């Protein structure tokens, strides 16, 4: 059972104005810190992403996902892809494919991408785009229409991601630009367009309970309910007004802050008789980055680290296994240090 509740809504205009707005800046900083500590989520308004572009993106994605399945699946892997694709299905049967993402530095990451057919066991379909990295898929004309809109949105979200990262940096009391210098490579950020099919009488799961494995995630949707966050033993439905962004902290920030900020569990529940269209922008970090609790929250405070250090790309590979081997599901708790 879930109930509706209003997440904290943060006005980001103070950070985007030409003139100084110290009062607005301080209030937003305080509210974001509280929201990320208590919920791991907040709603953002006056965020700098053009509302008309967000609306256009939703229209374009709906047009694409409404195409016949054979048109959506008319693609091929690039011959240059050196690594074979993995099984990217989130179910044990049905349509599936894998994609290989290769960064400019040559690192390869296997991400799961499911392009669903109309089979009864399929729940959602996706289109992903990385702008600076190379995607090992050749898109057809219909997909390129979607990509044009995604590419137009991309710089707005990278700028917003950098802004929120800097706010979090200051909320945590880190040295100026610490997180910016730690996370100085935008080549693996990506946008994903999602379409969740209507629920059936026996199955309403769109996306099972999970936390996000990246740093910060930004989501906007067509207004159809479905996104829920877990807090204090209850599921809270998130119903943002049009043009509002849902922002949540990912596992990376939780580990770096040694649990000072929260990467909250959340899920998507499908609605009877209604499809849900949404976009998610994942602000992430380079694969070769070491992720561990920062000394600012451990030795400097006399506290013990709650996580072992790990390379981000290792965690990505473990999370890919969640798709191919759901029985061995892995989350950030995999790196927790036992208290015993």
Structure tokens at 168: 């979090």
Read off the pLDDT of each residue in 29-33 and give the average, rounded to a whole number.
Answer: 96
Statement: residue 311 has pLDDT above 70: yes
Domains identified in the chain, total number: 1
pLDDT value of position 326: 58
Is 238 within a domain? yes
For the chain, how far is it from start to end, CA to CA, in angstroms? 35
Cα(28)–Cα(32) distance, integer angstroms? 6
Quote the pLDDT of residue 138.
Answer: 35
Range of the domain at 273: 2-335
The residue ranking higher by pLDDT, 268 or 95, is: 268
Indicate the pLDDT class of residue 94, thresholds 50, 70 and 90. Answer: very low
Tokens, residue 115: 């392009």
Q: Is residue 130 a part of any domain in this protein?
A: yes
CATH code, domain carrying 10: 2.60.120.330
Q: Give the pLDDT score at 84.
A: 27
The rounded distance, in Å, linking the Cα atoms of 195 and 221 is 10
User: Residue 29 domain-assigned?
Assistant: yes
Residue-wise pLDDT for 146-171, tens only, equals 667 777 888 999 999 999 999 999 99
- The DSSP 8-state label assigned to residue 93 in this structure reads S
Domain presence at residue 312: yes
Is residue 211 one of the residues assigned to a domain?
A: yes
User: Is position 146 within any domain?
Assistant: yes
In this structure, is residue 340 part of a structural domain?
no
Place of tokens 């030409």: 18
- Has residue 272 got a pLDDT over 90? yes
The pLDDT of residue 20 is 80
pLDDT surpassing 90 at residue 243: yes
Q: Which is nearest to 60 in space by CA: 125, 134, 129, 150?
A: 150
């Amino acid at each position: 059972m879930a109930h509706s509740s209003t997440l904290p809504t943060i006005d980001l205009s103070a950070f985007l104005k030409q003139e100084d707005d110290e009062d607005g800046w301080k209030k937003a900083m305080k509210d974001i810190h509280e929201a990320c500590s208590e919920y791991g989520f907040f709603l953002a308004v006056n965020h700098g992403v053009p509302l008309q572009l967000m609306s256009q993106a939703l229209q374009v994605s709906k047009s694409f996902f409404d195409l016949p399945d054979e048109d959506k699946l008319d693609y091929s892997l690039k011959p240059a892809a050196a690594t074979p694709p993995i099984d990217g299905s989130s179910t044990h049967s049905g349509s599936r494919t894998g994609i290989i993402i290769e960064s400019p530095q040559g690192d390869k990451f296997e991400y799961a991408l499911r392009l669903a057919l109309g089979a009864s066991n399929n729940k959602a379909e996706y289109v992903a785009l990385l702008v600076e990295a190379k995607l090992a898929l050749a898109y057809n004309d219909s997909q390129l229409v979607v990509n044009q809109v995604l590419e137009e949105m991309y710089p707005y979200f990278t700028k917003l991601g950098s802004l929120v990262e800097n706010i979090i940096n200051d909320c945590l009391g880190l040295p100026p630009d610490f997180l910016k210098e730690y996370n100085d490579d935008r080549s693996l950020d990506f946008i994903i367009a999602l379409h969740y099919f209507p629920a059936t009488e026996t199955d309403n799961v769109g996306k099972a309970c999970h936390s996000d494995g990246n740093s910060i995630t930004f989501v906007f949707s067509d207004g159809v309910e479905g996104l829920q966050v877990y807090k204090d033993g209850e599921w809270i439905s998130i119903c943002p007004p049009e043009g509002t962004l849902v922002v949540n902290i990912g596992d990376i920030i939780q580990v770096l802050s040694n649990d000072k900020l929260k990467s909250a569990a959340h899920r998507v529940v499908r609605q009877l008789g209604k499809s849900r269209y949404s976009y998610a922008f994942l602000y992430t970090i380079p694969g070769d980055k070491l992720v561990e609790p920062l000394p600012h929250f451990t030795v400097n405070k006399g506290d013990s680290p709650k996580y072992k250090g790990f390379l981000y790309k290792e965690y990505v590979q473990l999370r890919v296994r969640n798709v191919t081997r759901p029985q061995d599901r892995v989350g950030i708790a995999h790196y927790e240090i036992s208290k015993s």
